[in-house]
Amino acid sequence: MKKIKTSPLLPQEFVVENISDNEANIIAYPFEVGYAVSLAHPLRRFILSSSQGYAPVAIKVEGAKHEFDSIRGMLEDISEFIINLKSIRFKLKNDETNAEVTYTFTGPKEISGADLSNDQVEVVTPDAFLATLNEDATLTFTLKIYQGIGYVPSEDIRDELEDGYIPLDAYFTPVRKATYEIDNVLVEDNPNFEKVIMNIVTDGQIGPVDAFKNALEVMYAQMAVFNSEISVAAPTTVERVDETPEIKKLMGRIEDLGLSARSFNCLDRSAVKFIGEIVMMSEADLKNVKNLGKKSYEEIVDKIVEYGFAVGADLSDEVVSAVKKKIEAE
């Protein structure tokens, strides 16, 4: 007789295959039939749409009034110059979210992406071609570079620019490709379980693993709305507890921490559902959670600190009692 299940199998294997600095395979298994694609497809969408990158949003070229103008001594006109500029990928330094950078070049010179790196910006496509200047040419231009996600058309930028700037279509997404494959995998003589192999290629502004982690965080944050407490009358058999801001934070779900899949699964399998349960653990108790490795332990501790608490925090008896009552009532 086919085994009757009361809950789906939780995947336990997670592997990262680093192919290059800008490409990696993310592998996870085993999933129940149909679960792999249900998770891989939305993750792919989040990877492509929510990864932060940098892009020029406007340019001002000395001696040019509009994008169809030309500069004396430069082989390319301004429209071709802008097309070439879109192939150059920037990364702002010192955690800046926007910058205004001015460049001046004199000919004869062939300008490439490498020529645009300076103290403010790093160019991750140094070989990309930009323009050709002859011996009597001087080119001065200023770029506005911003951090963002997705794509923003130039029409949405135009009204916010000072005179002299030409708005640019802004392609922020640093992910060049995100694809996945679903393979079968054997579990206890059953060949119908599934493995997800997700391939991620970036342009160098961020690494593929960072893009994956960011997508997970955004996905968890978007789904957190479904964990919102619904206001209903309390059961008559349960004592109501007045909630302070501290208690409300402690009653947050572990999904709100944005943990990696491995760390989240270890806690979930141990029936840990709320942030307060982790805070009320001792460090030894957390380390003893089944299958929780050192990296997962350190990640959870760091996330708890970011949330404003600490593992084994000295909470008041009133707060501990209130949190325990609310956990029991859930």
Let me know whether 247 and 319 are in one domain: yes
Section 150-156 average pLDDT: 91
pLDDT at 251: 87
User: Could you tell me if residue 4 is inside a domain?
Assistant: no
Contact yes or no for 289/204 (Cβ under 8 A): no
User: Do 179 and 167 sit in the same domain of this protein?
Assistant: no
Please tell me the predicted confidence (pLDDT) of residue 2: 60
Q: What is the pLDDT of residue 236?
A: 38
Single-letter amino acid code for the residue at 102: T
| 264, 302: one domain | yes
> Tokens in use for 37?
């694609």
Three-state helix/strand/coil letters over the chain: CCCCCCCCCCCCEEEEEEEECCEEEEEEEEECCCHHHHHHHHHHHHHHHHCCEEEEEEEEECCCCCCCCCCCCECCCHHHHHHHHCCCCEEECCCCCEEEEEEEEECCEEEEHHHHCCCCEEECCCCCEEEEECCCCEEEEEEEEEEECCEECHHHCHHHCCCCCEECCEECCCEEEEEEEEEEEEECCEEEEEEEEEEEEECCCCCHHHHHHHHHHHHHHHHHHHHCCCCCCCCCCCCCCCCCHHHHHHCCEHHHHCCCHHHHHHHHHCCCCEHHHHHCCCHHHHHCCCCCCHHHHHHHHHHHHHCCCCCCCCCCHHHHHHHHHHHHHC
Say if residue 235's pLDDT is above 60: no
Residue type, 329: A
Q: How confident is the model at residue 238 (pLDDT cuts 50, 70, 90)?
A: very low
Read off the pLDDT of residues 2-27 as tens digits, 9 standing for 90 and up: 667 788 888 888 899 999 999 999 99
Q: 234 pLDDT exceeds 70?
A: no
The answer as to whether 196 is a domain residue is yes
- pLDDT above 80 (res 244): no
166, 72: one domain: yes
Per-residue pLDDT reduced to its tens digit, 43-65: 999 999 999 999 999 999 999 98
Position 230 pLDDT exceeds 50: no
Q: Flag whether pLDDT at 192 surpasses 70.
A: yes
pLDDT at position 241 over 70:
no
pLDDT at res. 239: 37
If asked whether residues 86 and 69 sit together in one domain, one would say yes
Alpha carbon distance 153, 170 (integer Å): 6
pLDDT averaged over the chain?
Answer: 88
Examine the pLDDT at 309 and tell me if it is beyond 50: yes
Q: Residue 29 carries which side chain, given as an amino acid letter?
A: Y
Please give the pLDDT value at position 81. 96
Q: Are 159 and 296 found together in one domain?
A: no
pTM score > 0.95 for this model? no
Task: Assess contact for 200 and 26: CB atoms under 8 A.
Answer: yes
- Weakest-pLDDT range from 3-17, 26-40, 154-168, 276-290: 3-17
Higher pLDDT, 323 or 230: 323
pLDDT digits (tens, 9 = 90+) for 203-212: 999 999 999 9
CATH of the domain at 84: 2.170.120.12
Domain of 179? 13-51+175-225
Residue 37 has pLDDT above 60, yes or no: yes
pLDDT above 80 for 165: yes
CA–CA gap between residue 238 and residue 327 (Å, rounded): 11
Give the CB-side neighbour count of residue 84, counting CA atoms within 13 A. 18
CATH of the domain at 195: 3.30.1360.10
User: 166 and 143 in one domain?
Assistant: yes
Q: What is the CATH number of the domain that holds 284?
A: 1.10.150.20
Nearest Cα residue to 304 out of 266, 262, 271, 274: 274
Q: Is the pLDDT of residue 190 over 90?
A: no
Q: What is the pLDDT of residue 313?
A: 84
- CA–CA separation, 210 vs 215, rounded Å? 9
Asked whether residue 58 falls in the same domain as residue 89, the answer is: yes
What is the predicted pLDDT for the residue at 255?
Answer: 87
Nearest by Cα to 315 from 272, 262, 279: 279
pLDDT, tens digit (0-9, with 9 covering 90-100), for 245-279? 778 888 888 888 888 888 888 898 888 988 999 99
Residues 290 and 183 in one domain: no
Residue 242: pLDDT over 50 = no
Measured N-to-C along each axis, helices 261-269 and 294-306 cross at an angle, to the nearest 10 degrees, of 90
Residue 312 counted as domain residue: yes
Query: What is the number of structural domains in the chain?
Result: 3
On the question of pLDDT at 167 being above 90, the answer is yes
